[in-house]
Chain A
Amino acid sequence: MTEKTFTDADRHDGIAPDMADQTEAPASVASEAAAVAPMNMIQALNSALHVKMAEDPNVLSFGEDAGYFGGVFRVTDQLQQKHGLTRSFDTPISECGLVAAAIGMGAYGLRPVVEIQFADYIYPAYDQIVSEAAKMRYRSGGQFTSPIVVRSPYGGGIFGGQTHSQSPEALFTHIAGLKVVIPSNPYDAKGLLTAAIEDDDPVIFFEPKRLYNGPFDGWHQKPVSPWKTQDLAQVPTGKYVEPIGKARIMREGNDVTILCYGTMVWVSLAGAEHAGVDAEVIDLRSLVPLDIETIEASVKKTGRCVIVHEAPKTSGYGGELSALVQERCFYHLEAPVTRVCGWDTPYPHAFEWEYFPGPERVATALKAVMTGGSR
């Protein structure tokens, strides 16, 4: 990959990093006849939206630049052209306004899917998400609900600086009434987004943008392999659902359990290989609800647990995972539960690879827990 600086200007002309190789038409449009087609993550997400919008007239998609142009990352490409102007449209640059509009539509009975262009811009909508969407069902005694999906590219590794790289998932996992879903590959991305649209509760759907075009494993000096070499990029062109709340074991192993999600799934796999450790790598896929059974069974088997996420360490979701593991698996543990996370700094522009938790940091943590000590 060629490293390039990502500036705010890119946001407006739609040239996002690592997008240069994405020239083909979305697979769902190009090859509808085929039952299964190789897709990158953008195409898979786009396919989920096309399939659901074709199936259900109550599904709408909107956001900043998400209509005619199809989104700065092209996830909503051709939705407007295929399904119509009133079903996929551009919104004013007002995250609060567009999420609030979705909440009102959800209360009416629609299933809007909104795009927040970058997770870093979600904060103006935070009150609407936290005080309104999350609490609607509860506070109204079940009279009103918020069956909305808030999609947003998140995470680092793209030289996006602090305004295009953050991982704010813990700000949402803390909120009763929200579900938080993060896929790590095209197959899950489509199946989980379909499930999110069909879910009767608000779903925060974070898309690891560093994975849009390939399973980036954190070895940033090496060329990125494309998705098409991966089994999980063979995506059915029709409808299927991956249930929310079920983790995926990406690699079975006996020595240590790695809990991860998003880009860190691929970094963790690379880290385990680098360390030469027989790790069981669990892609959580859904943080809320959490597949505690899979986690518990794995840690009881391996006796060790390393948690990897990009978000800053303090009060990150890793803290919750760590607490759950020690509450439930303490007498099976051979070593302290260890976290590999982003540092407790804002996301720095010039120190991308010092900040981004890479395979070497994962390997170091794995070796430390294998020798019994904490890092």
Chain B
Amino acid sequence: MTRNTKPLSLRVPEPSGRPGDAPDFSHLKLDAAGSVDRPPVDARPVQMLDLAFRLIRVLDDEGNAIGPWNPRLDAETLKKGGKTSFYMKCTGEEAIAVAQGMILSREDMGFPTYRQQGLLIARGYPLVDMMNQIYSNAADPIKGRQLPIMYSAKDFGFFTISGNLGTQVPQAVGWAMASAYKGDDKIAITWIGDGATAEGDFHNALTFASVYRAPVILNIVNNQWAISSFQGIAGGLETTFASKAIGYGLPALRVDGNDFLAVWAATQWAEERARSNQGATVIELFTYRGAPHSTSDDPSRYRPGDEHEKWPLGDPVARLKQHLIALGEWSDEAQAEAEAEAVAQVRAAGKESEAIGTLGQSRPSVKTMFEEVYATEDWRLVEQRREVGV
């Protein structure tokens, strides 16, 4: 049997620019600041479908906070956000973890990826402990067992980072279910990158969050790039990542992730919804990964070199600074001072940590290699530890 049709062809998505090309963001539809409506927190998901395709923004081009999502934050809160945001290595994505880390408390539980270190910094986790972890030295809180930046800080509401992508999202839902089961008032918050939303874990998490109305905030950090794969490879060409929530009956917000106030406002909306037992919210945080994926990565081999500079939503720290200056609460001098202070703090912590030792110079005792595999060692671990001679 033959069909009177043309041969099929396979589509493989490609980004709008590769190395050597001029960055092209003309395909982005960016709503003006203040132009997206804010539904009541008890809105039914079906009543707010358009928010999955819009972009919630508060800060306009002049740094003014406008529109229904303006969280009307006082200057002291903003300064805290502005100051702390300078410590991060998640260049371009600082606003997300800092704002969200400030809204939720450390009694709530965050299930992060490796790009939410801002959560720890915003909550005052000692910088030197972060560095000790990075160096896997004798003072590493997790005893040299994980790659750098795979922090774990239970007392700061920071769940142990896996490194296997997406696994934390359904765990966050389970944690939130447990809190609800116990009649507790704590909620969970989790983050996943645009690339990892393709993992089954993400979709399982949305099903469970919807079915059991779990008090959890499910963030998708769309930073455009998963190592070298642009967000279209994860399904971002045909729809938004926020819209994935719609099929699961969850409310979706799509937010300018470089707008500290918009991130704050959307998170607060989701928080109120979760705390009032109305369940989960999916938030797509639209941003740009300014830095390489990791120190082993070279983005100039797969994307236009100046793409980050040309990103139409700017830099989150610069925009918050502009806003504070517009409010008359900040100045270039104050910013320079805060930056210098931040750099000094980081340097001091670095020195303190390096004095304990860097990777290979200092490490926990070898005996600890065999500990905490189980609550108590079994005979195998005892024998193997003896074989090592410790």
Contacts and interface: CB of A to CB of B under 8 A. Distances in A.
B201 A144 contact: no
Contacts of B171: 100-101, 103-104, 107, 128, 132
B374 A132 contact: no
A108 B373 CA distance: 19
Interface stretch (B117-125, B205-213, B331-339): B205-213
Interface of A: 60, 86-87, 91-92, 94, 96-98, 100-110, 124, 127-128, 131-132, 136-145, 176-177, 179, 199-201, 245, 288-290, 292
B208 A101 contact: yes
Enumerate the 5 nearest inter-chain pairs by beta-carbon distance, A residue then B residue, closest first.
Answer: A104-B174, A97-B204, A100-B170, A101-B174, A108-B178
Given A109-B178, A289-B378, 15 more contacts: A87-B181, A92-B208, A96-B201, A98-B208, A104-B111, A105-B178, A107-B109, A107-B171, A108-B109, A108-B178, A127-B167, A132-B171, A140-B152, A144-B159, A290-B378
Nearest to A128: B167
A100 B154 contact: no
A319 B200 CA distance: 34
Given A97-B204, A100-B171, A142-B372, A136 B177 contact: no
A128 B162 CA distance: 10
Contacts of B26: none
Given A141-B141, A143-B160, A105 B177 contact: yes
A62 to B, nearest CB: 10
Nearest to A144: B160
Interface in B90-146: 109, 111, 140-143, 145-146
Contacts of B204: 92, 94, 96-97, 100
A107 B142 contact: no
Nearest to B368: A141
B179 interface: yes
A94 B208 contact: yes
Contacts of B143: 141
Interface in B200-259: 200-201, 204-205, 207-208, 211
Interface of B: 109, 111, 140-143, 145-146, 150, 152-154, 159-160, 162, 164, 167, 169-179, 181-182, 188, 200-201, 204-205, 207-208, 211, 372-375, 378-380
B181 A86 contact: yes
B375 A100 contact: no
Contacts of B177: 101, 104-105
Nearest to A147: B375
22 contacts: A92-B204, A94-B208, A97-B205, A100-B171, A100-B205, A103-B174, A104-B173, A105-B178, A106-B174, A107-B109, A128-B201, A137-B375, A139-B145, A139-B152, A140-B160, A141-B141, A141-B142, A142-B372, A143-B142, A143-B160, A179-B374, A199-B375
A200 B379 CA distance: 18
Nearest to B153: A143
Contact of A100 (B173, B176, B188, B378): B173
